[in-house]
Chain A
Amino acid sequence: MKLTKLMSATALALGVLSAAAAPLAAEEKTEFKLAWSIYVGWMPWGYLEDSGIMDKWADKYGIDVEIVQFNDYVESINQYTAGAFDGVSATNMDTLSIPSGGGVDTTALIVGDYSNGNDAVILKGDGGIEALKGKPVNLVELSVSHYLLARALDTVGLEEADLDGVINTSDADMIAAYATKDVEAVVTWNPLVSEITGSNPDANTLFDSSDIPGEILDLMVVNTETLADNPAFGKAVAGAWYEVMSLMAAGDEEVLTALAEASGTDLAGYKAQLEATEMFFSPADAVAQARASDLPATMTKVADFLFDKGILGEGAPSADFVGIAYPDGATSGDASNVKFRFDTTYMQMAADGAL
């Protein structure tokens, strides 16, 4: 009796561990899982699932795609990297640092938008970027906010060492943090930016992502092997995504209201956020962004930032440790260790109406 119990307990413990141990193996399959988290440019992913548009396209290709919302952005990427999901909504920077840096070969299936003002450096009171010198800055460390700050400081020849340090602050508490008197400057993203600037007359936006257009890309990234073995997965996801994009571009109030409500704001609020987002409603524009001649330079800048902050890991001998492949076949970084690929195949199919 006792022994059986002990053995079943051991089996249970091992079972739990082996569940964690087995990453989703790439092979031909019919069930796929995508993860997404709340952000203005990613709201359509939730709508795809709720409206049945994803199911419609998945049925067309004889597969099943489940889209799961995460409350915690980093956790969604970590879960994808660990192998629990086939794809995840992420920025180009976080894709490079977490899955690609972690050896998971990842492809940007859809280039959704770039942040065009959604991320901002906000100072309490008057002054320019130089005024940040000697001040503490509250932000989510190692996030795109941190990258934006580094780019802002670059423009006036300052470095992070010239500040009174950065203080890692959870995005969930950023608005409350701004209200405390020891906080002098914050870097954050929408909807927090509009909340802070809207309700604090002393909030002074020093620098925002419209100053570095095309550098903070919001993507849907998927496992490269899974995509290669299952082209139907790529086709169904791209088809469904661009159906919703065309509805949004046409200004479909019903769709936009659903997106606004899901992101906790109203139609006007959501439209204001969209204005700070360069959405690629047409697949041809997304293809053009993925093929942009300055993309390799941007990704190299991002890689340098990640390496400088130690985010690429201790195993990274240099900023070029992870290779990145572009649609024209060019690569940046280590060409023998390509783990991040911009692939326009499926977006191009959508543009050609071939889905």
Chain B
Amino acid sequence: MRLINHIPNRAGGLFLAALPFIAVLIAYSVASDIRLSANPQDKLLPAPSTILSTAERLFTEPDRRSKDILLWKDTFASLARLVGGVSISAAISLALGLAIGLFPYARSFMSGFVSVLSMVPPLALLPILFIVFGLGETSKVVLIVIGITPFMTRDLSQRVLDIPREQIVKAQTLGASSLVIAWRVALPQILPRLISNIRLSLGSAWLFLIAAEAVASNVGLGYRIFLVRRYLAMDVILTYVIWITALAFVIDWLLKTLSRKSFPWMEAGL
């Protein structure tokens, strides 16, 4: 029998899925143990038990000075920026994508510009962003928007162009106007694409968010990571990294579920 037809049973599948996680955990514990036996106060690779107790403290105990639980404050601040940036990007790219995909004039006007724009490295423009948008929340949201919108727009306009030409012709023979075609033919087919697009862009969005928070901020997940790096508090950094990973995973799962519930006919394509 060919290898491609060997399918693990349920338990075997679960075991295989868990294996890389276990391997990383073991490799980390061993490395941490080696360093801690050389220097018990080593901060680079804290023991898993230290990370666990640090995590418990970060999640439950308020800060000595501000009396806030910093991790939750950071999480809400960062999520607000992330959701703001991604929502604005989604709205802009949906509108532009539909326009570029459906209207030849819009295509001639915008398509080249968006393609070039998507190649600009936004992080290099940070100083200009600060002068124009200030150092507050706006510049952080704008960085996310500039970072992911061109790419999302390019992809969505291509998806609109991929809609079979026959459907557009058919809608026209039934008397649909351009706007009705956009609303009733293109939009329903693009929305699930938009969600999968957001899922793909979230990784970049996190990256831009953390970069913006590292530059000028006084609250946020990225801010805290760069701050405690100043005294090599890897136990705090690792807790935050695991937390960010978990948040990203949950957001991704929520979007996937939303897509499956709202657009069951697209299931195969997601």
Residues of A within 8 A of B (CB): 10, 13-14, 17-18, 20-23, 25, 74, 78, 81-82, 97-98, 101-104, 138, 141-143, 165-170, 172-173, 176-177, 179-183, 310-315
Contacts and interface: CB of A to CB of B under 8 A. Distances in A.
A173 B127 contact: yes
Interface stretch (B99-107, B145-153, B179-187, B224-232): B224-232
Given A81-B43, A103-B41, A167-B217, A176 B227 contact: no
Q: 9 nearest interchain CB pairs?
A: A103-B41, A21-B31, A176-B127, A21-B34, A169-B216, A17-B31, A102-B43, A142-B230, A82-B44
Contacts of B159: none
A98 B231 contact: yes
Interface size class of B (residues with CB under 8 A): 35 or more
A311 B230 contact: yes
Interface string B242-253: 000000000000
Contacts of B226: 168
Interface of B: 23-24, 27-28, 30-32, 34-35, 38-45, 54, 57, 64, 126-127, 130-131, 134-136, 214-218, 223, 226-227, 229-233
A17 B28 contact: yes
Main secondary structure of the interface of B (DSSP, over half): helix
B34 A10 contact: no
A177 B130 contact: yes
A20 B45 contact: yes
Given A21-B31, A168-B218, A78 B229 contact: yes
Contacts of B231: 97-98, 101-102, 142, 311-313
A14 B34 CA distance: 13
A91 to B, nearest CB: 12
A170 B24 CA distance: 33
B216 A167 contact: yes
A182 B134 contact: yes
B57 to A, nearest CB: 7
A143 B230 CA distance: 8
Contacts of B34: 18, 21-22
